[in-house]
A and B are shown apart, each in its own frame.
Chain A
Amino acid sequence: MKRKLPHPPRENHPALWRSFAELENTPEFAHVIEREFPGGTARNGSGLTKRDFVKLMGASVALTALTGCRRPEAQLVPFTKGVEWSVPGKFLYYATAMPIRGGAMPLVASTVDGRPTKLEGNPLHPASNGATDAFAQASVLDLYDPHRSRAVKRGGRDVLAGEFEAYLAQISEKRPDGLAFLVERKNSPTRDRLRGELEQRFPGLIWSEYEPLGDDREAVTAAFGPGVRLVPKFERADVILALDSDFLSSASEYGPAYAAGFYPRRNPDQLGAPMNRLYVVENHFTCTGGMADHRYRCKASLVGEFARRLATRIVDLTNHSGLATLLGAAPQTKADFDEKWIAECAADLARNPGRSLVLAGGQQPAWVQGLVFSINEALGNHGMTILGVADEAPPAAPLGRLVEAIRGGAVKTLFILGGNPAYNAPANFALRDLLTRVPEVVRVGLFEDETSAVSEWHVPAAHYLEAWGDARTFEGTYTAIQPMLMPLWGGVSELEVLARLGGNAQPSGLELVQQTYRILSGAASTDPKDAVFLQGWSEFLRNGFLPGSQATAKDLAFRATEVVRLAEAAAPVEAGIELVFLQSSSVDDGRYANNSWLQETPDFETKVTWDNVALVSPATAERLGIRANNFGLLQKVTALNHEVDFDMVADLITLNAGGVAIEAAAIVAPGHADDSISLALGYGRKGVSALFENVGFDAYPLRTSESPRFRTAISVSGTGRTYPLARTQEHKSMEGRDLFREATRERYKKNPKFVQSMGLVDAHNPPTTSLYEHPRLTAPEQWGMAIDLNTCIGCSACAVACQAENNVPVVGKAEVRRNRDMAWMRIDRYFAGSPENPEMLAQAMLCQHCENAPCESVCPVNATVHSEEGLNLMAYNRCIGTRYCANNCPWKVRRFNYFDYNQRPLEELYWGPLAPKGMADSLKMVKNPNVTVRMRGVMEKCTFCIQRIEEAKISRMVQAGPRNKYDVPVPKFQTACQQACPSDAIVFGNIADPKDRVTRLRQSDRGYVTLKYLNTQPRVTYLARIKNPNPAMPDAAMVGMANGPAGGHH
């Protein structure tokens, strides 16, 4: 029956939108969409428009329907003006790049309705294999961080942006002397160009760059002359020795860019290229150390000595004169190493001249790096596995020189663009106090932080997704940085500030970059209307880089004498306990302290979230009386009980050096070097934001400019107090369950089917059969995944990517402590072997999408059932939250929303309805519109990115139209984790298609499923890890033995 229910006349309440797609015609929004032509947008001053712009954006949340018959009125607000290229609700992809120390990480940003929600690698780019790291994945959250600074401040008072622009204009006219710049290390041609202009405009200008974790370039310049950068060629290296160098993780300046070269050589099934061999010498477990075929524990301060001993062996083997003379000059320190280890390692290197590669950590003392260069020289690796390229970036003054200038009172006006030197500068500079001596400090930064506190001006900076820019990647390719939307809170970009100082009254980032592009591309005409130019330019933007712009190769002329001079300057290392400064896998050097995705991503080794901890070896812990944690009782460390850490509290210790003392929570780290303590930088920040106040411990106070990597002669004392830690994994041992399987290359050759002989029950059970016939999964697409443990290093990029793609909520430290983290994708980390020097095993764990899924049969309401395509589905809106499925999941990958994590402030979860409801408007913008935001009381888990699967299938249908859709192939797509993985360890696809790569991998000899004997038929296959030990090495017997000497036979 048909009734008309005329709706009561509308009252004027703020409109609501179901989808952001049909939003608003406000000028701001129009501009956002037209990110291509942002010139002359009203950015200045009026914070108001910005705010309701954000309000509009925020409105993209779904409606909450009232109960009862009267329908709440919702409104559709169409664009007033159609926006070109934007199709409501469809993703648009733009090439851009994220500036990093070494240059840039090429990215593709997925934007929906004008807001970027997800970042992926740019597969077209020569310096990228389409992968990213955790930081890049999480940087999109920084963009929307509600704690970002929003207002221009002078002397702590809000002022209009116009005032700051006037100030800049006045400087560029008056041309005062004593002008200085302190900037982050970037490789941006436009910035260099503007800098050049400024240097002419302001003679005597000091341009200083500082990166707390940047590689020290001094040694390179000394060894190969100025303007040279080294590019290692891993694909050519058969033997690699990493000396305190974590080149695989983002800790290296060039991040996962190296991966492309390295991982293909780790594949034992690869024909042609033999599997490479990796030696690692380090004091604590790094991702690289986890991959090592042979790993040697060594104090970071003794790595130099280790290199010297190695060099002597190599001299014996190669009689290289240059190296010999250098050895004469190198300082000697007493240390007892496993000489056999060194000898065999040296022999292995010497056996492979020109095909070996020795790397030293970028922050090791200059002479150590010099020594390593000359080892490579002796091995004839230069030009073979190590190439030199021209370094276009003009040299900048080190922070030291700026500091002297400030001390001398030569600096009148200091521009600090980005970075946070007041917090992370070397302690011996006492920069925080120095800055107060500078008459005018102008600070442009994303957050109001320690540096803003001591600056006259604080100006909100534009996020790299908000402003035009450019960069060179580590091998020199000229790369575009496109903004995805207008600055949310009116940030200004570094380039604009420089341009204004250069006298450009109305600078536009676009034009600035275009000019640089013209120069670099050698475009004949400089006329922006020129068709040829525009065509090239749009090409440049579409691909994200300028083809053939790689830096010119330079042959490496090794200058032994310079290196000798470095060595002579160096002194032997003092004995005693050392403190090693690490890059945090969560907050880098502290710049991501406000990024909750990263804060909650467990450290790859300790699995600690929201904190940094001091890592100590079992032996040292025992000596210092640091207790390990068993069954909730802190106990003295003995060989027996550092197996388990339950009930996460740790001893607080005091680290004292040169009269400066810091506190830190200490935990026992297997495989850590003795007499050495590792502490990640970037934590313990004050006044960043309420939520992250006093998380972790600040290690910078002990860090000096002389040795950025370590501090020797540390005195350690207990405090008697303990500190609560939030760890997502408490157990270290695999308990002989062979969830992770590995073997040596030899064994693999001898018995290619070795994985089948592993696994407690799996190996011996008769083939599991069912009583009844299983319903046949009929769809032509059957989704499955293969994870190659051989190349997975546990870097967590996949985990963060999953969080970004699937709107996985953050729960905060307190909740993680209650074992309520929500990660759909986690990295299980086990240790195998002796606690002193074990192997580290990293295993990506996610929903296995079992064909016979135990979780399904126990759900009383059919909220989780199976799809025809073999997906284990989870219907949130049907779930009532009995948690039975999670209990019955052998892999424990299901996650339950114990609270309304999306809607309530994390620190007020227990206040229930009394706490304010709703999330920050800007945080709504980062949510993926294609994934439901889960509410309290429902179960959730990995869906194999079903939204991407469905998108692909639908686009096939659209393409097929009135034809048989099965004649049209499903367009290629990747899951978020697969796309992010730098080592290509995750492969997803259709296992019903024999040609699909995943099908081949599932059938490979190394392939196995965990807990096979349960006969749940998982759709996730793991490929066993193959190690490539050197039989002559003393520890060879211990390598590849994660499943026990018997290799799994129990």
Chain B
Amino acid sequence: MAEGTVISVEESARAAVERQPLVAPGRTMGWISDYVSSIVESQSPRWWWVAISITGSLTLLLLACLTYLVATGVGVWGNNHPVGWAWDITNFVFWIGIGHAGTLISAILFLTRQKWRTSINRAAEAMTLFAVICAAIYPTMHVGRVWMSWFLIPVPNANGIWQNFRSPLMWDGFAVLTYFLVSVLFWYTGLIPDLATLRDRATTKVRKFFYGILALGWRGGNRQWRHYEMAYLLLAGLSTPLVLSVHSVVSFDFAASVIPGWHTTIFPPYFVAGAIFGGFAMVLTILIPARAVYRPLGDLITVSHIDKMCKVLLFTGSIVGYAYLMEMFMAWYSGNPFERATFWYRVTGPYWWAYALMILCNVAMPQLLWFRFFRTHVIWVFVIAMFANVGMWFERFVIVATSLTRDFLPSSWGMFHPTWVDIATFAGTLGLFGTLFLLFIRFLPMVCMFEVKAVLPSANPNPGGKH
């Protein structure tokens, strides 16, 4: 044992010089529980009230817009005859994309034993759920007769007619629903031990009751841990292909059509990469301010986390850039004049500015992340992440809307103009997203405590042995 300790000391020393530790040194398990829980247990700070009053009112605006939409008709949006899908589906794809980082971080990084995921996966997963909720609003509400959308559910009925399972929209519905439910399960399973922590620390009756219910009576015995770990592993294993499939299916909405600019086989990988890109950007956009507000979080979500995420950002961003190039090349290489024209119009047509913006935000800006300087300076990272968010929205707009403005028959070409309802609805979903996230950080542990504890040096069951 004794010499074992010596080795471990040397080891940890080397580790210290080689790389930043995942958790700042000197943070004990107790400290982690105390601090993370204290965010939930302390009084809501003033900034929180300000923030939620803003996002809350935006959410009300969303409700108002949707009511107006359903009561009056899809015409209150700017959609028109060549452009049957515009901001509605653009925003849908945008939000779904954002909803990817969470499960990706949790599942894939878990399977690949990336320990650095532990302090960010909880927030990322929460973000996934909220993003998917925002996304789901659009396909549901964009249909002309919402009250008839039960036709989409395969239940036996007096009409003796069935759904068309060849339609990518059906695939889409199933994919998004599955993704949402599985993410919820995955997220909640991960929460149980931490809810137990909150339960055990609870002082008031109300907290005792609610956290008690939510924790399901978790006791943390090995009998529970061993099944728990297996279940978590299985969920992670299931989520990984799922998260890749979801955005592929979303891309089928376009890839399975005949419209030039939509009908593209590169879409599935291209969309997935884009989704991860946008997702990570959004994670950063959220965690960096959170880190700034709850200072000590900086010890859990360290610069090395941000640095790693930036690398993912850079990588996926480059894939997306490659996809843009490939689209152009294939349009030219196919020799199909309709394809060529469509992509030519993307660059030179009336919507050239949208395309330019997309290239700037998604391809140009992330290149800065080659330099350690930008990866490690939080402000810069935040700025670049913001660009990525904007860029991803415009990518979807370029693909969904502008492809429709000019397709086969020049006689039916036309422009798209958003109405105030389009804009207000989008702002509304941002508000909803914010509201849900603010509630999350107030009432649930933002960082996965038991996993962070597990990566502490002191968590090593046999300090002597090599791990």
Query: Contact residues of A with B, CB < 8 Å?
Result: 631-632, 646-647, 729-731, 733-737, 739, 760-761, 815, 818-821, 826, 828-830, 843, 845, 854, 857-862, 878-884, 886-888, 890-892, 895-900, 909-913, 935-939, 1011, 1014, 1016, 1050
A860–B412 contact, CB under 8 A?
no
- Which chain B residues (123-151) contact chain A, with CB distance < 8 Å? 142-145, 148-149, 151
Q: Which residues of B contact A899 (CB under 8 A)?
A: 72-73, 75
B76 contacts which chain A residues (CB < 8 A)? 910, 912
A896 and B84 contact, CB distance less than 8 A? yes
Query: How many angstroms from the CA of A420 to the CA of B407 in the assembled complex?
Result: 46
Q: Report yes or no: B408 in contact with A1011, Cβ–Cβ below 8 A.
A: yes
Bound CA–CA A887/B72 (angstroms) = 22
Instruction: Name B149's contact: one of A647, A736, A880, A936 (CB within 8 Å).
Output: A880
Q: A819-B414, A878-B151 are in contact. Are A897 and B68 (CB under 8 A)?
A: no
Of residues 212 through 257 on chain B, the ones whose CB sits less than 8 Å from some CB of chain A are 253, 256-257
Asked whether any CB of chain A lies closer than 8 Å to the CB of B188, the reply is: no
Q: Within B54-83, which residues are at the interface with A (CB < 8 Å)?
A: 68, 71-76, 78-83
Contact of B85 among A729, A828, A883, A1011 (CB under 8 A): A883
Residues of A within 8 A of B81 (CB): 819-821, 886, 892, 895-896
Residues of B within 8 A of A (CB): 68, 71-76, 78-85, 142-145, 148-149, 151-152, 159, 161-164, 166-170, 173, 253, 256-259, 336-338, 341, 350, 404, 407-415, 417
Query: Would you give 10 A-B contacts (Cβ < 8 Å), ordered by A?
Result: A647-B415, A735-B341, A735-B410, A830-B410, A860-B152, A862-B163, A881-B74, A882-B144, A895-B81, A937-B74
A830: chain B residues at CB < 8 Å are 410-411
Beyond A858-B166, A884-B169, list 10 extra A-B contacts (CB 8 Å). A631-B350, A860-B164, A862-B162, A890-B258, A892-B412, A895-B81, A896-B74, A897-B73, A937-B148, A938-B144
Chain B minimum-CB-distance residue to A888: B257
- Whether the pair A760, B412 counts as a contact (CB closer than 8 A) is no
CB distance from A913 to the nearest CB of B (A): 5
Interface centre among A631, A880, A887 (most CB of B within 10 A): A887
Cα–Cα distance between A938 and B151 once the two chains are bound (Å): 14
Q: Which residues of B contact A857 (CB under 8 A)?
A: 164, 166-167, 256
**Do A910 and B72 touch across chains, with their CB atoms under 8 A apart?**
yes
Closest A-chain residue to B139, C-beta based?
A: A882
Q: Are B68 and A739 in contact (CB under 8 A)?
A: no
Q: Knowing A820-B80, A879-B145, A937-B143, say if A892 contacts B407 (CB, 8 Å).
A: yes
Identity of the chain B residue whose Cβ is nearest the Cβ of A1011 in the assembled complex:
B408
Contact of A912 (CB < 8 Å), options: B73, B78, B410: B73
Q: Which residues of B contact A937 (CB under 8 A)?
A: 73-74, 143-145, 148
A879, B73: Cβ atoms closer than 8 Å: no
**Complex Cα–Cα for A646 and B78 (A):** 16
> How far apart sit A895 and B144, CA to CA, in the bound complex (Å)?
12
- Specify the chain B residue showing the minimal Cβ separation from A883: B84
| CB-nearest residue of chain B to A735 | B410
- Chain A residues within 8 Å of B173, by CB: 860
Assembled-state Cα–Cα distance A949/B15 (Å): 83
Instruction: Give chain B nearest CB distance to A600 CB in angstroms.
Output: 14
Select which of B78, B256, B257, B404 is within 8 A of A818 by beta carbon: B78
Closest Cβ–Cβ distance, residue A647 to chain B (whole Å): 6
For B79, give its contact among A632, A884, A898 (CB under 8 Å). A898
CB distance from B157 to the nearest CB of A (A): 11
With A882-B143, A937-B144 already in contact, the answer to whether A912 and B71 are too (CB < 8 A) is: yes
Closest Cβ–Cβ distance, residue B35 to chain A (whole Å): 49
Contact in complex: B415, A912 (CB < 8 Å): no
Pick the contact of A761: B84, B257, B258, B338 (CB < 8 A). Answer: B338
Contact A730 B414 (CB under 8 A): yes
Q: Which 3 pairs, one residue from A and one from B, show the smallest C-beta to C-beta distance?
A: A881-B144, A937-B144, A912-B72
Q: A897: which B residues are within 8 A, CB to CB? A: 73, 144
Most buried by A among B82, B142, B350: B350
Contact A861:B72 (CB < 8 A) given known A878-B161, A890-B407, A938-B145:
no
Interchain CA distance A938-B253 in the complex, whole Å: 20
| Residues of B with C-beta under 8 A to A1050 | 337
Tally the A-B contacts, defined by beta carbons under 8 Å: 185
Kindly identify which residue among A730, A815, A854 contacts B257, using a CB–CB cutoff of 8 Å. Answer: A854
Is A892 a contact of B167 with CB atoms below 8 Å?
Answer: no
Residues of B close to A631: CB separation below 8 A: 350
CB neighbours (8 Å) of A892 from chain B are 81-82, 407-409, 412
Chain A residue nearest in CB terms to B349? A631
| A631 CB, min distance to chain B CBs, angstroms | 4
Chain B residue numbers with a CB within 8 Å of A884 are 84-85, 167, 169, 253
Decide if A860 touches B169 in the complex (CB within 8 Å): yes
Complex interface: chain A residues within 8 A of B168 (CB): 858
Q: How far is the CA of A821 from the CA of B161 in the complex (A)?
A: 31
CA distance in complex: A729, B410 (Å): 9
Are A818 and B80 in contact (CB-based, < 8 A)? yes
Q: How far is the CB of A856 from chain B (nearest CB, A)?
A: 8
List residues of chain A with CB within 8 A of the CB of B75.
Answer: 815, 818, 820, 898-899, 909-910
Residue of B nearest to A727 (CB): B414
Chain A nearest CB: distance from B353 CB in Å?
10
Which residues of the other chain, A, contact B152 by a CB distance below 8 angstroms? 860-861, 880
Does B71 lie within 8 Å of A898, measured CB to CB? no
Minimum CB–CB distance from A932 to chain B (whole Å) comes to 14
- Whether the Cβ atoms of A845 and B337 lie closer than 8 Å is no
- Assembled-state Cα–Cα distance A896/B80 (Å): 8
Interface centre among A733, A819, A845, A895 (most CB of B within 10 A): A819
A224 to chain B, nearest CB (A): 46
Residues of the A chain whose Cβ atoms lie less than 8 Å from the Cβ of B78: 818
A862 to chain B: closest residue by CB: B164
Q: Known contacts A858-B168, A909-B75: does B162 contact A737 (CB below 8 Å)?
A: no
Of the residues A632, A739, A880, A1014, contact of B151 by C-beta under 8 Å: A880
CB distance from A534 to the nearest CB of B (A): 54
* Contact between B84 and A730, CB atoms less than 8 A apart: no
Pairwise interchain contact B410-A731, C-beta atoms closer than 8 A: yes
| Identity of the chain B residue whose Cβ is nearest the Cβ of A764 in the assembled complex | B335
Most buried by B among A729, A884, A913, A936: A884
Once bound together, how far apart are the Cα atoms of A859 and B170, in whole Å?
Answer: 9
| Complex contact B142–A882 (CB within 8 A) | yes
Cα separation A734 to B84 with both chains bound (whole Å)? 23
Taking the nearest CB of chain B, how far is it from the CB of A314, in angstroms?
A: 41
- Point out the residues of chain B lying under 8 angstroms from A858, CB to CB: 166-169, 256-257
Which residue of the partner chain B has the closest CB to A760? B337
Query: Which A residues touch B84, using CB under 8 A?
Result: 883-884, 886-887, 896
> Who on chain A is nearest to B258 by CB?
A854
Q: Is the CB of B144 within 8 A of A734?
A: no
Contact flag A828-B415 (CB < 8 Å), given A861-B151, A861-B164, A892-B82: no
CB closest residue in chain A, given B260: A890
The one of A646, A739, A826, A843 that contacts B350, using a Cβ cutoff of 8 Å: A646
- Contact status B409-A845, CB under 8 Å: yes
Output the nearest chain B residue to A900 by Cβ-Cβ distance. Answer: B73
B169 touches A730 (CB 8 A): no
- Cβ distance A574 to chain B, nearest Cβ, rounded Å: 40
Cα A815 to Cα B166 in complex, Å, equals: 33
In the complex formed, the residue of A with least CB distance to B69 is A912
Q: Is the CB of B167 within 8 A of A913?
A: no
A631 to B351, CA, bound (A): 9
Q: Which of A819, A845, A882, A896 contacts B169 (CB 8 A)?
A: A882
How far is B69's CA from A915's CA once the two chains are assembled, in angstroms?
A: 15
Q: Tell whether A888 pairs with B259 under 8 Å between CB atoms, given A883-B85, A909-B75, A1011-B408.
A: yes
Q: Which residue of B lies closest to A884 (CB)?
A: B169
Q: Are A731 and B161 in contact (CB under 8 A)?
A: no
Q: Which residue of A lies closest to B412 (CB)?
A: A892
Min CB distance, B351 to chain A, in Å? 9
A815 to B414, CA, bound (A): 13
Q: Are A819 and B80 in contact (CB under 8 A)?
A: yes
Q: How far is the CB of A852 from chain B (nearest CB, A)?
A: 10
Bound together, the chains give a CA A167 to CA B366 distance in angstroms of 89
